[in-house]
Chains A and B, each alone.
Chain A
Amino acid sequence: MSRPEGKGSSALEVKFVPDEEVLKHIADDAGIKVRKDKTQLTASVKRFVKKLENISDNEAQEILEEKNYVAALGICAQDPLENGSSVSGSEVYSFQTPKRSSKMAEMASELAQTPGQSVAPDHSECSENTVKTPQSSSKYMFLLLMHVFSLLLQSKKKEFVSTTPYRLRKRLAAPDPYLESESEYSASCSEEEDEEDQKEVSTVLSGQKTSAKTKAASTPPRRNTLAKKTKEDKMSNLVEEYFEAHSSSKVLTSDRTLQKLRKRRLNQQTLHDLLKKAPLAYAAEIKELNQQHESLFSKWMLQLHLGFNIVLYGLGSKRDLLEKFRTSVLQGSLHLVVNGYFPSITVRSILNSITEEVLDHIGNFRSPLDQLEFIIKRFKEDSSLQLYVLIHNLDSQMLRGERSQQILAQLSSLPRIYLIASIDHINAPLMWDQAKLSLYNWLWYETTTFSPYVEETSYENSLLVQQSGSLALSSLTHVLRSLTLNARGIFRLLAQHQLENKDNPSYPGLSFQDFYQQCREAFLVNSDLTLRAQLTEFRDHKLIRTKRGADGVEYLLIPVDDSTLTDFLEKEDEDV
């Protein structure tokens, strides 16, 4: 505990002197009756400093408490985790100032130029260094303040957000003529001067204590607040930046798009092939990691049988690991593998597979709850039933809902259902409350594998825009192949029309009447009824979307992006 305390006090020290210094410089700059004002000045300074001290004391206290708590939890305890990943919370959760987009490029070039060399550390780190150095230039002070502030922010983010910024903003709203000069000065001030000032101020402080007290009442309030203003102004910079970054919806990024890059889009297959060609980095090390994890298998089995359930976390795909666990240990016992990353998995399907495959029960249930009750009953009756459930990605989109988690938790709390699951999402632990946690009865295992998430990311909806066309295109061609020639012609017409209007951002779609007219002209339909029947078919396959315009006219749209549509038309042309 001595460390944070020491830090706090040193922070105080550093702050103490430059405060007055700044104030004095302001006064000098202004050039108004320095001699006379001096006592008043110091009085205000003193009061202010006192206040500041209080504030920072509180901060230190808070930090101290936080540290206390952290230490009590044992996160900072002397014995680090085996892998040495004892990262303090502040490091993980520290918030960075939003940077310009060019920063990334800078960073990249930096990374590229200096192989294996360290990159410039971020803000908070460098300010932390300055805490230790006894330098007392005012420039550092502000950094330091910001640092303290950010620490405060971390510890008391919520409260802080609710109270302080308002105050700060109010202060900021007042015009501040001295700010500029002050900052100029701080940039050029030398250390010698600082020391001088320091002495001076301290003597003044000690000598004129009494007189200052009496005159304190008569000090012009303007100066008093001014000092505070300049001070907290700087202090608030970080906060202001934060709010700026978060309130405005406008974000400065370059306007370049992937479209302009002359590069063809990759579909799933080519992506896969390409990745196969690229060698996996650090294969040997990854293998070693996996072997470490595999040595735990027998322990897992023991713990599963003792009523615990196991959850695996850490970077890297845990699928192979679980597969290996399954093949090596669970061979010959009843088990169920749930691929949570599969986009259409539901709790109901999990329960169904238990009732149908495991319990050989055919029949429907009114609700998952009923089904669950049935399963619980069966497991209670038959003591020879044992089931291992392996769930890859328990935190996937489909399973992370409250209800499904509740059902899974209840399922896992059965004494003869052994659950072993993996989670990947950073916020995955948030989906469990106390009740669910106690039902799950988790034992946490860190299994960082660094292996790529091949299966998990291979489904369309878990991927980014780059590939989104590929599946749609294949489904388009697929569906259209099964249709009549006329129907294909109808769709072609619509697609061509849409492509013709692709530069028009407010293109509402093709109105039904126009479309009918065109189709008739192309001899594709003979009545609007046949066209409607055709369109229903399209709609059922989600090939088109209809929406009503403001005038009640029906507009038809193909909900596929233009490039895919172009590809499709090209392909169709080839076929024909």
Chain B
Amino acid sequence: QQIQEDLNKQLFDNLVSFLRRSHSEFQEKTKEWTCRMKSREIPTAALVLGVNVTDHDLTFRSLSEVLQNNITPYIALLEAKDCPGIKNLMQKLMGQLMNCYIEVDSLEDEDCVQVSQKRMRCSMTSLINWYESVTKKMDSKTPSKKRTSCSRHWQSPPVVVIFKDMESFITKVLQDFIVISSQHIRELPLVLIFGIATSPMIIHSLLPHSVSSLLCIELFQSLSCKEHLSTVIDKLLLTAQFPFKLGEKVLQVLINIFLYHDFSVQNFIKGFQLCIVEHFYSQPLSVLCCQLVDAKKRVNSLSHDQCENIRRLPSFRRYVESQASQKQIALLTADNFLKEIIQKLLEDLHVYHENYVSVLRCLHVFTSSLPKYPLGKQIRELYCACLENRVWETEEYESSLQLARMLNKSDLVTMLQQCVEIFVSSSGKEFDKTVEKLKEFLTQFQKLEAEAFQEQDVSVSSQKELQKKTDLYHLQKTLLELKESRRSKKLTKFEKLRFEVVDYIDSLVRNYLVPADHKTLHEIVYFNTASVLRGHLNAAPRIALHTALNNPYCYLKNQALKSDGGSISNKAPDICIVYKLHLECGRLINLVDWLEAFSTVVMAVEGPNADAASSDQVDDIIHARFIRAVSELELLGFIKPSKQKTDHVARLTWGGC
């Protein structure tokens, strides 16, 4: 299990980095162009990254990697929190540049290492000196040595400085740095990259004109996080290769967290990882959740207990009940027979997934361009809808079919072509027929087109005739005839064909997009406990506190604590009583009153046995309990000591402050 999880994780990481790289590569190409611009200005790239701050780290890392590999070894990544002043900034810059230089040159140039070890004065001049010495060395070395691709590209590789989060830099520091470095641009080919989370306007609002005129800014827009998400979903969920699947609710929770909370693809992936962990941890049968070949092997080595587990699965029970009685007995008693059946079922499941994905994509092609998007614009929405229940029973599906029946021809043809592509590229074996069928539709359309051309010719000629004799009466007559003929014909050939196509798609959907919970053994690959996931990723500590204080019965299952909604009994733990009492107060709470109220409540519980004789003793204990409860409330942040009045505390929460 562990190994498998690790494998999965690696897969994600590869995926993500691939994503990033593909988009940074496109940027890098354009950057070369920027670098060529030689002038007094500093070439600058402004990267607009969007609000998903948490993903930026990854992007920058891959960006600098790409740059390092292809353009220049001199890259410095600067973060705002490291650079409170220009001095720190320079220090950091120098340190990073020298370090990365060392990395590139490995152990050969030890003198250089020593240089950087020394605490040298960090200034632009020293930087330039260093740069010159390095490039000279490089020039002298490159003929003799094989390495460094950079020097092939550039006579003098530029120094790239990346400002990760430009908005949070102190403007003064940035300005100073830009002004200083613009003075030295001749000697030091510097390239700046700004990471921007909000909008490109921020550059101009941060930097005065005199400074920004020193920059030659090129703007790059990174892909929006939504697109990232859809690629991730595409590659992870909508493939048959990946055995693990998410249930509808879980996917909904993840997407909602993404859309409503952070727009962070990274967090989405984290949630996905968590799902996998939970699934493998909680579902004993998840051993079978792997590639089909492995799964078959593992089925053979199942122990008796595991077989029993399978028999206990609700979906398997349903399956058993649908079988003949003889077979039922065999399934429930003989392990070997069970294993065979399981293998078959798993294969079915696999095939089902393969078909599912391509039919889903096909349906998406049809629905995504409909007006108002009854089944959603993104494929993930469609996927959710299909997972939830039988999609063809929903109203949205009905309306989308209605709309699909009104599509025009060119759209329909392109859609059909797309569908054919999808089916051809998919690995499912059953799709040969569908492909044929679809192709048939296409040819029919083409025929129709040809016919239509002829008809058009006819109509054109008839029109010519009409034009010849411009008799009003005749015109009226022919028009009437035309109208009647249209009415009587009802459906043209095209319309008939269109209906056929839509009906065919409908049948495909009904065949292949059966929701997963209707499939036998779906528990093995689907993870469905959304509440666990939500509890771990999107927790609500306040609500937990609130319930614990207001309704301790939720946690402490004692009959004495049971009460009707909204109130607590006086037997509740001290802190609950104190909390309840403090809710009745305003901004300030008199401790004496509070204590008295508390002791009234507590005494009532102790009732008759607490007599006046031992009251002093009891009083002390109650006092102590009160102190403890109050200081616990203070720790929890409900109250704080107040200096406004002696022996008063201030309320900090709901309704107080």
Residues on A close to B: CB < 8 A?
Answer: 69, 72-75, 77, 79-85, 87, 89, 91-101, 103-109, 111-113, 115-119, 121-122, 125, 245-246, 249, 251-254, 256-261, 263, 266, 270-271, 274-275, 277-278, 281-282, 285-286, 288-289, 299, 302-303, 306, 308, 313-316, 341, 369, 406, 423-429, 434-435, 437-438, 441, 443-446, 448, 450, 452-453, 456-457, 462-467
Question: Is B590 a contact of A464 with CB atoms below 8 Å?
Answer: no
Question: Is A434 a contact of B554 with CB atoms below 8 Å?
Answer: no
A344 CB to nearest B CB, Å: 17
Question: Is A107 a contact of B546 with CB atoms below 8 Å?
Answer: no
6 contacts between A and B (CB under 8 A): A84-B554, A97-B655, A101-B593, A118-B564, A251-B644, A285-B556
Question: Is A314 a contact of B593 with CB atoms below 8 Å?
Answer: no
B residues within 8 A CB of A457? 628, 631-632, 634-635
CA distance A396 to B536 in the complex (A): 22
Question: Is A426 a contact of B545 with CB atoms below 8 Å?
Answer: yes
Question: Is A463 a contact of B631 with CB atoms below 8 Å?
Answer: yes
A residues within 8 A CB of B605? 115
User: Contacts A74-B253, A107-B581 given: A462-B635 contact, CB under 8 Å?
Assistant: yes
A192 CB to nearest B CB, Å: 33
User: Contacts A83-B554, A306-B5, A425-B635 given: A104-B571 contact, CB under 8 Å?
Assistant: no
Question: Is A314 a contact of B548 with CB atoms below 8 Å?
Answer: yes
Question: Is A93 a contact of B604 with CB atoms below 8 Å?
Answer: no
Question: Is A271 a contact of B534 with CB atoms below 8 Å?
Answer: no
B300-333 to A contact mask, C-beta < 8 Å, 1/0? 0000000000000000000000000000000000
CA distance A323 to B244 in the complex (A): 36
A366 CB to nearest B CB, Å: 12
A314 contact from B544, B558, B584, B600, Cβ within 8 A: B544
User: Contacts A99-B586, A438-B267 given: A453-B274 contact, CB under 8 Å?
Assistant: no
A residues within 8 A CB of B547? 83, 85, 87
B393-405 to A contact mask, C-beta < 8 Å, 1/0? 0000000000000
B628 CB to nearest A CB, Å: 6
A residues within 8 A CB of B655? 95-98
CA distance A93 to B654 in the complex (A): 6
Question: Is A423 a contact of B541 with CB atoms below 8 Å?
Answer: yes
B580 contact from A107, A254, A277, Cβ within 8 A: A107
A residues within 8 A CB of B75? none
Question: Is A464 a contact of B587 with CB atoms below 8 Å?
Answer: no
Question: Is A274 a contact of B260 with CB atoms below 8 Å?
Answer: no
User: Contacts A256-B592, A425-B636 given: A274-B621 contact, CB under 8 Å?
Assistant: yes
A323 CB to nearest B CB, Å: 18
Question: Is A107 a contact of B584 with CB atoms below 8 Å?
Answer: yes
A residues within 8 A CB of B623? 263, 266, 274
Given contacts A107-B597, A122-B566, A438-B267, 13 further A-B contacts (CB under 8 A): A83-B555, A84-B554, A109-B600, A118-B564, A270-B624, A274-B623, A285-B555, A306-B5, A313-B539, A315-B548, A448-B544, A452-B632, A457-B632
B174 CB to nearest A CB, Å: 20
B residues within 8 A CB of A95? 654-655
**B409 is an interface residue with CB less than 8 A from chain A:** no
Question: Is A101 a contact of B628 with CB atoms below 8 Å?
Answer: no
Which of B284-292, B444-452, B515-523, B645-653 is the contact stretch?
A: B645-653
User: Contacts A83-B555, A251-B588, A302-B281 given: A424-B635 contact, CB under 8 Å?
Assistant: yes
Question: Is A81 a contact of B588 with CB atoms below 8 Å?
Answer: no
B residues within 8 A CB of A119? 566-568, 580
Q: What are the 4 tightest A-B residue pairs by CB atom distance, in nearest-first order?
A: A444-B539, A112-B604, A108-B597, A315-B548
CA distance A277 to B266 in the complex (A): 52
CA distance A444 to B536 in the complex (A): 4
Question: Is B627 a contact of A467 with CB atoms below 8 Å?
Answer: yes
Kindly identify, within residues 183 to 210 of chain B, every residue whose CB is under 8 Å from any CB belonging to chain A: none
Question: Is A278 a contact of B634 with CB atoms below 8 Å?
Answer: no
A149 CB to nearest B CB, Å: 15
A80 CB to nearest B CB, Å: 8
**B225 is an interface residue with CB less than 8 A from chain A:** no
B residues within 8 A CB of A109? 600
Question: Is B581 a contact of A108 with CB atoms below 8 Å?
Answer: yes
A residues within 8 A CB of B583? 96
Question: Is B627 a contact of A464 with CB atoms below 8 Å?
Answer: yes
B554 CB to nearest A CB, Å: 5
Question: Is A92 a contact of B277 with CB atoms below 8 Å?
Answer: no
B residues within 8 A CB of A443? 274, 536-537
CA distance A487 to B627 in the complex (A): 37
A282 CB to nearest B CB, Å: 5
CA distance A443 to B274 in the complex (A): 9
B123 CB to nearest A CB, Å: 20
Kindly identify, within residues 522 to 581 of chain B, every residue whose CB is under 8 Å from any CB belonging to chain A: 530-531, 534-549, 552, 554-558, 560-561, 563-564, 566-571, 573-575, 577, 580-581
CA distance A263 to B540 in the complex (A): 41
Closest to A316 in B: B548
Question: Is B641 a contact of A253 with CB atoms below 8 Å?
Answer: no
Interface centre among A103, A281, A427 (most CB of B within 10 A): A281
Question: Is B541 a contact of A282 with CB atoms below 8 Å?
Answer: no
Closest to A248 in B: B587
Closest to A443 in B: B536
CA distance A438 to B542 in the complex (A): 21
Closest to A468 in B: B641
B580 CB to nearest A CB, Å: 7
Question: Is B601 a contact of A278 with CB atoms below 8 Å?
Answer: no
Question: Is A278 a contact of B625 with CB atoms below 8 Å?
Answer: yes
B421 CB to nearest A CB, Å: 35
B residues within 8 A CB of A462? 631, 634-635
**B104 is an interface residue with CB less than 8 A from chain A:** no
A434 contact from B54, B252, B581, B632, Cβ within 8 A: B54
A105 contact from B267, B561, B593, B645, Cβ within 8 A: B593
**B620 is an interface residue with CB less than 8 A from chain A:** yes
A residues within 8 A CB of B598? 108
CA distance A100 to B593 in the complex (A): 12
**B603 is an interface residue with CB less than 8 A from chain A:** yes
A residues within 8 A CB of B638? 426
Question: Is A112 a contact of B544 with CB atoms below 8 Å?
Answer: no
B242 CB to nearest A CB, Å: 18
**B53 is an interface residue with CB less than 8 A from chain A:** yes
CA distance A278 to B655 in the complex (A): 33
B residues within 8 A CB of A302? 277, 281
Closest to B273 in A: A306
CA distance A450 to B543 in the complex (A): 15
**B431 is an interface residue with CB less than 8 A from chain A:** no
CA distance A108 to B645 in the complex (A): 23
CA distance A427 to B534 in the complex (A): 20
Closest to B582 in A: A104
A residues within 8 A CB of B54? 434-435, 437-438
B residues within 8 A CB of A423? 541
Question: Is B604 a contact of A115 with CB atoms below 8 Å?
Answer: yes
A271 contact from B252, B542, B624, Cβ within 8 A: B624
Question: Is A75 a contact of B548 with CB atoms below 8 Å?
Answer: no
CA distance A314 to B575 in the complex (A): 14
Question: Is A450 a contact of B555 with CB atoms below 8 Å?
Answer: yes
B281 contact from A275, A299, A427, A467, Cβ within 8 A: A299
Question: Is A113 a contact of B530 with CB atoms below 8 Å?
Answer: no
Question: Is A434 a contact of B544 with CB atoms below 8 Å?
Answer: no
B603 contact from A74, A112, A434, A453, Cβ within 8 A: A112
Closest to B560 in A: A116
A residues within 8 A CB of B654? 92-96
B256 contact from A74, A116, A278, A450, Cβ within 8 A: A74
Question: Is B597 a contact of A105 with CB atoms below 8 Å?
Answer: yes
**B596 is an interface residue with CB less than 8 A from chain A:** yes
B656 CB to nearest A CB, Å: 8
Closest to B5 in A: A306
CA distance A259 to B590 in the complex (A): 12
Question: Is B653 a contact of A426 with CB atoms below 8 Å?
Answer: yes
Closest to A100 in B: B586
CA distance A288 to B556 in the complex (A): 9
Question: Is A81 a contact of B531 with CB atoms below 8 Å?
Answer: yes
